[in-house]
Structure 1
Amino acid sequence: MAASSIFMAAPITVFNRNPTFSVIRCMAQAPQSGDAEGSKPATTPMTTPPPPPPAPKVSMKFSDVLAFSGPAPERINGRLAMIGFVSAMAVEVSSGQDVLTQIGNGGVGLFVGTSVLLSLASLVPLFKGVSVQSKSNGLMTSDAEMWNGRFAMLGLVALALTEYVKGSALV
């Protein structure tokens, strides 16, 4: 019976159904001036990094596309040099004609026709606002095309100089 009297004498705790909280605060905000805990040092607010800047729009103006540092001139010249180098070497291997002889035997008309066709095919996407980098992926990147075009330009010049010094076709 002594054990039961201990349990009877113990106070019963009543839980309040609507507790009130003195302060509820978000960690990202500094305390306001009227808070009771305003004397504590404020924590620095957590900031999110700013969104990345929007991608620059591709200018579709004729003067911007064909500007010296624009997307078209070196790319078009490189594409023409790649086709010119491969076709010059193919004709030289098949017929034994050097580059200057190829140009003299009707090569000017083919060169002009190829230049016009490739220039238009290269300019149409640029005037529609498609950037060169947007179509780059894997091995076929815009940088690889630029380097291949530069090497083809050097190859054409080296081929013409070598044939001029040698006095005949390279192959």
Structure 2
Amino acid sequence: MAASFAMQSILASSVAYGASVKRTNQFLPLQYAPSLQRYSTMKVRCMAGEDADLKEQPKPISTPPRPRLSTKFSDVLAFSGPAPERINGRLAMIGFVSALAVELSNGQDVFAQIGNGGIPWFLVTSAVLSLASLIPLFKGVSVESKSEGFMTSDAELWNGRFAMLGLIALAFTEYVKGGTLV
């Protein structure tokens, strides 16, 4: 490596300044150094060809590491946390479908369903779904990691939002109408 550096320094000084430069290295006599004169008007340009070997290979795409999910109770159930909207959306999806099913089978509107024993069913369903939704979050499993193909976490959020709006619209329509929707 030292020999390579010495050779490069000799050649560089001889080419750049001509042969009139004093010899800076005692290992190589001056007669072996090239004696080219310096041309200030000469410019050297280099362009790579379109050979297949010279093309750059694409770099592998690496995904940045995801930050570790917090499993603290206050973080999971925070207003902007992962649990509240998902749990409410899941409850709304089950509530909307069951409200329509009971209305079609028994002919009772939403308020009659709540008055005729719907509150205990709502409390049991809420407790089971809340626990089933919270246990994976407290273990550190994110909802996005389990979403694939057609059933994505974003689709679940949007379905839950539409179910919340549908349940409110169903109750409001039945209240204004004064009876069942169907």
C-alpha deviation, 1:112, in angstroms: 0.4
Deviation at 1:38, TM superposition (A): 5.8
Q: What's the RMSD between the two structures over aligned residues?
A: 2.7
Partner in structure 2 of residue 138 of structure 1 = 149
- Following superposition of structure 1 onto structure 2, how do residues 44-63 of structure 1 map, counting pairs within 5 Å? 52-63=63-74
Q: Identity, % of aligned pairs? A: 72
In 2: Cα distance, 1:52 partner to 1:141 partner: 19
Paired amino acid for 1:108: I
Amino acid at match of 1:134: S
**1:33 positional shift:** 9.5
Answering whether residue 84 of structure 2 is matched by residue 77 of structure 1, we say: no
**Aligned pair partner of 1:148 in 134, 156, 159:** 159
Runs of 4+ more than 4 Å apart: 37-40
1:160 pairs with 2:171: yes
- For 2:110 and 2:151, the matched residues in 1 are separated by 29
The verdict on how the C-alpha distance between 1:33 and 1:150 changes in structure 2, with shifts beyond 3 A counting, is: farther
Aligned counterparts of 1:38 and 1:84: Cα–Cα separation in 2? 83
Normalising to structure 1: TM-score of the pair? 0.73
Q: Name structure 2 gaps, 5 residues minimum.
A: 17-58
Please, what TM-score do these two structures have when normalized by structure 2? 0.69
Q: Which runs of 5+ in 1 are unaligned?
A: 1-21, 24-31, 41-47
